[in-house]
Amino acid sequence: MLRNLTIACFALTSVGVAQAFTSPKGYLTTEGATNHNYMLFSKYEMYWQAIDKTNIGAGTKVMREVSWRRDGTGGASTYAARTMTNWEMSIAKADYGLHNSVDISKNALTGTLKQVVKPRTLNVVDVSAPPTTAPAPWTTVVKFDTPFIYDGLDALLWEVRYTANTLSTNYSFDFTTGGNYAYSSSTASKLGTACTSSGSTSPITWTTQWRNYGAGFSIYHAGISNLPKSAPAFLWIDFADANLTAPIVCTTIHALPTIVLPLGVSDSLGSLAKAEFPLPYVASAVGASLYGQVWGFDAGRASGLPMSFSDGAKWTIPNDPTSHDVVRNYRYKTNSTSTETISGPWTGGIITRFQ
């Protein structure tokens, strides 16, 4: 009995000890391949998110602080000290394959997101001069307000936010590369013509992609215009081109509602913002074709069904991408009055130490 108690106490103690590790894995004393100096601490306002699967299976770790270092070579006067307002950090676990690059708040697994640094003022030092030897020291160190226990069973997600920055010039970080994109994509070819919604002078327009993340699919659209105004809209998905015409609909129906995705309610101009809809991965579906069509409820149509349809879309599901281990997404503003930019996913990661 005492022996079992000793073993249990030892196990608890070993979990409780902060173990230094990096995300991506393996860079505690190794320099990354390049630098990344134009994003994380270089905007007026930032919401940064990284998702990393390199530490899956590496065991449980207790995280009590985060650190960053500058790149080991090169210098620039722009890498000056700065102060960020309402700087905060949260950590979670993520399903690496079910990725949403538009509403990135949905990437954390339900119930796992934890704020580890409450909003504070963060001052970072001048890193203009390159270090005498690489890798550089960990010059930005932030203690957590509450620890995070990462069990290594799923991808690690960490995100940083701040609402203002005294300087928006470049700031150097050590970085490991990973290509250009974390997915392969296929832009849909269009079928037929779209309806013109009541109160509009132009037909419905939309551009859509099928994305393959290797462990999950998604449908992405870059915005939809000229829908019925302030009305619910839907995407119908089918496995064949229905190619149906009828007097009660305003155009040819290319997709029947085999699968239905609610898209939300259009704004007062009849527009929907860009969005991404994660879907499960099915290996046998790669190379297959699917068909889609958007419609909005249109109470003002003079005749037929109160539905205004877009043109049809034909996706060919693309091949799996080259496997990448780390992706990152951004939402940021360049000044207090600029519109928010949404960017990502991009592969590769800033070398980040947790312990």
Question: Which pLDDT belongs to residue 18?
Answer: 55
Q: Do residue 173 and residue 231 come from a single domain?
A: no
Q: Phi first, then psi: give them for residue 8, nearest 5 degrees.
A: -65, -45
Q: Does residue 336 fall inside a structural domain?
A: yes
Q: Does residue 30 fall inside a structural domain?
A: yes
CATH number of the CATH domain containing 207: 2.60.40
Q: Do residue 189 and residue 118 come from a single domain?
A: no
Q: Does residue 7 fall inside a structural domain?
A: no
Q: Do residue 160 and residue 23 come from a single domain?
A: yes
Within 10 angstroms of residue 269's Cβ, the number of other Cβ atoms is 11
Q: Do residue 86 and residue 155 come from a single domain?
A: yes
Q: Do residue 269 and residue 332 come from a single domain?
A: no
Q: Does residue 3 fall inside a structural domain?
A: no
The answer to whether residues 338 and 45 touch, using CB atoms and an 8 Å cutoff, is no
Q: Do residue 87 and residue 161 come from a single domain?
A: yes
Residue 246, class by beta-carbon neighbours within 10 Å (0-12 exposed, 13-18 middle, 19+ buried)?
Answer: exposed
Question: Which pLDDT belongs to residue 98?
Answer: 81
pLDDT 10s per residue in the chain (355 long)? 434 433 333 333 344 445 899 999 989 999 998 899 999 999 999 999 999 998 998 899 999 999 999 999 888 999 999 999 999 999 999 988 788 888 999 999 999 999 999 999 999 999 999 999 999 999 999 999 999 999 999 999 999 999 999 999 999 999 987 644 568 899 999 999 999 999 999 999 999 999 998 778 999 998 999 999 999 999 999 999 999 999 999 999 999 999 999 999 999 999 999 999 999 989 999 999 999 999 999 999 999 999 999 999 999 999 987 766 888 999 999 999 999 999 988 888 999 999 9
Question: Which pLDDT belongs to residue 323?
Answer: 63
- What's the CA gap between 187 and 347, in Å, rounded? 20
Name residue 83's beta-bridge partners: 123
Domain containing residue 134: 17-182+324-354
Q: Do residue 63 and residue 90 come from a single domain?
A: yes
- What's the CA gap between 21 and 150, in Å, rounded? 11
- Any residues with CB less than 8 A from the CB of 143 and at least 6 apart, and which? 64, 65
- What's the CA gap between 9 and 59, in Å, rounded? 18
- What's the CA gap between 120 and 94, in Å, rounded? 26
Q: Do residue 246 and residue 340 come from a single domain?
A: no
Q: Do residue 165 and residue 190 come from a single domain?
A: no
Question: Which pLDDT belongs to residue 6?
Answer: 38
Q: Do residue 163 and residue 188 come from a single domain?
A: no
Question: Which pLDDT belongs to residue 11?
Answer: 39
Torsion-angle region of residue 146: left (phi > 0), alpha (psi -120 to 50) or beta? beta
pTM of the model: 0.71
Nearest to 204 by CA among 308, 292, 313, 314: 308
Q: Does residue 10 fall inside a structural domain?
A: no
Give the E-state strand segments of 204-350 in sequence order.
205-212, 216-225, 232-238, 259-265, 275-280, 289-297, 307-316, 326-333, 341-347, 349-350
Q: How many domains, in total, are found in the chain?
A: 2
Residue 208: strand, helix, or coil: strand
Q: Do residue 206 and residue 109 come from a single domain?
A: no
Both tokens of residue 177? 């590369």
The answer to whether residues 352 and 158 touch, using CB atoms and an 8 Å cutoff, is yes
Nearest to 150 by CA among 349, 288, 15: 15
CATH number of the CATH domain containing 137: 2.60.120
